[in-house]
Structure 1
Amino acid sequence: MNDKRKMANIDLPHFGQIDLTQLQEYYSAETAFSGTMLRLDLNFENKSISEEQAVNIKVFLDNIPTLEIQNKSSIDKNFNDGGEAADYINFYLDELDEDELGNIIDHDDKDKSKEQQLLSKLKLIRIGLYPDGKYGTDYYGVFDYSIDIDGEPCDQLLVVKTKENGDLDHITWES
């Protein structure tokens, strides 16, 4: 079938040409996003995926800016509901001394609480995709957020895990 040969490869944003019939277990890329470098990775369980799965990966990657806005909204809601995001932010408020905190937020800002200021400092540092359930995952996308301390992302991550369509699966805190 001529169509089958034509779709043996797909050009994925940030990753370039991928052979759908000879997949590697892991692909990585970096791209500029919101003024910083964003790490991206694709993780495959199987040696091949369908054309439909490949197109879904492409759509997901094309929609990163929209998904980022959606994730931030989910994080805000989770924070306001006292979920993992609130625990994550409160960890920093407890662990950092006033000087360290002062390097991240503005103590004189009376319009926004320390918590809200810290929450606004979350930045997306990595997106991992697991389109065919690598590592037994039941989610599709993993968005790792961190707060910079002394100019470097901290190893404590607020993680948004999404379904294939980008909808929220759950939020967790990892290190």
Structure 2
Amino acid sequence: MENLPYFESIDLQELKEYYVVKIDLNGRKTSIDLNFENKSIDKDSIQKIKTFLESIPKFHLQNKSYINNDFEEGDGETKDYINFYFDELDQDEISNIININDIKTPKEILLLNELKLNRIGLYPDGKYNTDYYAVFDYSIDIDGEPCEQLLVVKTNEKGDLDHIAWES
């Protein structure tokens, strides 16, 4: 049995395929799930999971930088993701999310700043044939609920960016 941050004891030799918990991260409920392909895992891998889980607040801040850089470069998924909202929502709906009267800050940046982290998924042994270690699902809240359109930051076990994707 092994204790992981946020999770209860996990039997390393009798793994379930899926574990999930909800945590409070910066005042927001965020779910974390562990997804395993295999029925057992070695001590080195479990230590990587522990280290990753302990670093979630740092990775969240780092991901915001990845997202901002992707937006500024203009050729990644983030710009298209943000523009989607301006294409699909009317002015009243946008004004419920951002202060459209703020003339000092571009509306795209205001909306970008409204991205919220909803879920973190870890795939430490490549479940679902993933070639990344973790996913961080960000979205915009509309009427107090996360939108189904996700901006997903995918990283390796050290939190380094693999890529950003727009998913729904």
Match of 1:75 in 2: 67
How big is the alpha-carbon RMSD for the aligned residues of Structure 1 and Structure 2? 0.6
In structure 2, what is the Cα distance between the partners aligned to 1:169 and 1:10?
28
In structure 2, what is the Cα distance between the partners aligned to 1:89 and 1:19?
42
In structure 1, what is the Cα distance between the partners aligned to 2:159 and 2:45?
14
In structure 2, what is the Cα distance between the partners aligned to 1:54 and 1:19?
11
Identity of aligned pairs, percent? 61
1:50 aligned to 28, 42, 47, which one? 42
Match of 2:131 in 1: 138
Match of 1:172 in 2: 165
Q: How does 1:99-118 map to 2 (within 5 A)?
A: 99-118=92-111
Q: How does 1:5-84 map to 2 (within 5 A)?
A: 9-82=1-74, 83-84=76-77
Q: Give the C-alpha shift of residue 110 in structure 1.
A: 1.4
Do residues 155 (structure 1) and 148 (structure 2) align? yes
Q: Deviations over 1:100-154 (max 9, x none)?
A: 0000111111121000000000000000000000000000000000100000000
Which amino acid in 2 is paired with 1:157?
L
In structure 2, what is the Cα distance between the partners aligned to 1:84 and 1:34?
25
Q: Give the C-alpha shift of residue 55 in structure 1.
A: 0.7
Q: Where in structure 2 are there 5+ consecutive unaligned residues? A: none
Aligned to 1:38, the other structure's residue is in SS state: strand
Structure 1 or 2, whichever has the larger Rg, is 1
In structure 1, what is the Cα distance between the partners aligned to 2:8 and 2:44?
17
Moved over 4 A (4+): none
- Give TM-score scaled by structure 1 length: 0.94
Aligned to 2:48, the other structure's residue is in SS state: helix
Which amino acid in 1 is paired with 2:23?
T
In structure 1, what is the Cα distance between the partners aligned to 2:71 and 2:2?
39
Which amino acid in 2 is paired with 1:109?
D
